[in-house]
Amino acid sequence: MLQLLVTRPLPPPGPSRLAELEALTTVLPDGSEAAGRDLRALLPDADVVLTHLTERVDRSLLERCPRLRGISNLAVGYDNIDLVAATDFGIPVATTPGVLTETTADLTWAALLGIARRIAEADHFTRAGRFERWGAELLLGADVGPGPDGRPKVLGVVGFGRIGEAVARRATGFSMEVLAHDPRHRDRIDSSPHARWSEFSQLLERS
């Protein structure tokens, strides 16, 4: 039977999907030194391992895993995995591209709105018991949309991969003008209905 090692517990629907597999699955505990020791101890007997970006899979570890037939990394990237060593041993490596695109774009906008509207500052101000009465200048913040003067704000997006494009798409809801710069994705910017190309210096000047 296929031996599957999962280096940390998965969020739903991960556990139910694992239960559907015809495999003997071992899930390591989360966030402890014991988990690291268990990984080194159990990986040599695994056929496939599902790793997280917190686990380093290097050549010295792979040398001890003659049965290993595949690595799947629960992350967009693969900095934690020695790809050269995996290739040398004939072990394919898979990642989960796109799994955090919308999440990261949401958090980017949460930070942008929070800073512009001074949300964290206002929260601390109120919790500290400093709020007495409303005033027109109290923690005023700034409009992200056009505001009273009707002029669209300009958002600069540096890097126009999946996440940059998702950030730009959200800006349309605030009637923003979006400038983007990414030498590797000029075609993507030119074809996007949500942004237009800008040289880096002009983007910094205008956004």
Contact 21, 2 (CB under 8 A): yes
Q: What is the pLDDT of residue 147?
A: 87
For the entire predicted model, the pTM comes to: 0.78
Q: Which residues pair with 93 in a beta bridge?
A: 71
- Compute CA distances 153 → 2, 29, 198, whole Å: 55, 47, 15
Q: What is the pLDDT of residue 82?
A: 97
Rounded distance between C-alpha atoms, residue 110 and residue 115, angstroms: 8
Contact 73, 100 (CB under 8 A): no
Q: What is the full DSSP assignment across 115-181?
A: HHTTHHHHHHHHHTT---S--TTTT----SS-TTTTPPPEEEEE--SHHHHHHHHHHGGGT-EEEEE
Rounded distance between C-alpha atoms, residue 202 and residue 36, angstroms: 48
Instruction: Write out the two tokens for 32.
Output: 């402890």
Q: What is the pLDDT of residue 34?
A: 56
Contact 120, 110 (CB under 8 A): no
What residues of the chain score a pLDDT lower than 50? none
Rg (CA), the chain: 24
